[in-house]
Structure 1
Amino acid sequence: MNILMIEDNESVCEMMAMFFEKEQFSATFHHDGAQGYQAYKDNPTIWDIVILDLNLPSMDGMQICRKMREISKETPIIMLTAQDSESDQVIGLEMGADDYVTKPFSPLTLLARMKALHRRAHIVVNESENQDQDQFNIQTDTVKINTVTREAFYHDQEIANLTPKEFDLLVMFAKNPKRVFSREQLLKSIWEDPFFGDERTVDAHIKKLRQKIELVGPQVIHTVWGVGYKFEDSGEA
């Protein structure tokens, strides 16, 4: 795994460098936000994962995350946030981060999150090798999805700018229309099992996914109060 870690606390970087070395990961560290972003911008395809602190000199983590997502929707991004800052966590997810870890954090917890994101990215790549890129392999009454090109359309209008987690959620819902998924089930399937974070991560991702769907058509992801979420578009057929 080739890691870009943008974190201004040198002690944290030194600690993680030891863990990365033990795992035989390659890691590049930047303590300045603008420099870290430039390192990503220069070679966006070489990074398997980005670990991004929220509070950085020159350019903060929110700005970096947003600008990285303008370059690529695919690179997994884990944001480091303060323990008591729920708003920062939600905003980070809305900017396109795939996950967050709260400070102070356990290095083993961060490694577990990284491995889960990296594993899921490789599953997508392996599946795509056996599929026709012109094929919509998931179709409902209104939505069609190509999991190779990772494109989704509502009728003929693209549901644009989906982050990796938003796309994976849409795929899971569209594969199982009318089935109700709890937050716990979605976390186990889309994130990792066991999941060490806050279940509200699911709500933040679904909120953004709904907003992007509503730009092109009526809502197809519905809340089942007290239970979870389901996909339902038969009324639009």
Structure 2
Amino acid sequence: MNQSETRATGYTTIGADVVHELEIKRSRFITYLRRVESEAAARELVAELRKSHFDARHHCTAFVLGADRDVQRSNDDGEPSGTAGAPMLEALTRRETHDGDSDLSDVVAVVVRYFGGVLLGAGGLVRAYSESVSAGLDRARLVRRQRMRLYDVVADMTIAPRLENDLRTSGHQVLGVDYAPGDDGQVQASVRVALADAADAEDAFSAYLASHTAGAASWRRGATEWVDL
């Protein structure tokens, strides 16, 4: 689904890989969480872990992809049907991220199980795999992603540092600053700013620049992208 077709304007993902281990009745459940943006990337992690944990009995998987969370997959990898992948996926999709929302996406979870010799039963397996992913998520750093329109604010070097500071302190999302010669040969600053992809955001930003720079800064509209806040 391309960006213009995406219904969601924001969602949550994880900021870094997580590895967490639980031992339940002598079985080891090692959970790996990774941020991914495609099924291929999710399956790469599974392939990596099959090699590094070649002696484990199970490598169970669940992942959720896309701003609309329209891609959801799970795999029991030899465990009784519905006792591993499904509870793992539920742990991802029902995870509350902020303000009661459950919008976690672009995450793959793989639980590697080393069998300890004690059968857990169907209910025990469901609890073990669900708890393993939930415990991993407890340790994850969550990142909010938002669909935003990018703008380049061009200003003379005499006002650029103050303008950048004002933009940051006023709550605007400043992504960076580039410096390059202008048409007159003088160095100019281009401040990259991300605004909410909403109809009134551009008008409000234009008015803000006009009032804070007395017309000394101009702006160019760029692409719409997903930005980590």
TM over 0.5: no
* Rg larger in structure: 2
When the two structures are superposed, what TM-score results if normalisation uses the length of structure 2?
Answer: 0.23
**Would you tell me which structure has more strand in proportion to its own residues?**
2
**RCO (CA 8 Å, sep 6+): is it higher in 1 or 2?**
2
When the two structures are superposed, what TM-score results if normalisation uses the length of structure 1?
Answer: 0.23
**Would you tell me which structure has more helix in proportion to its own residues?**
1
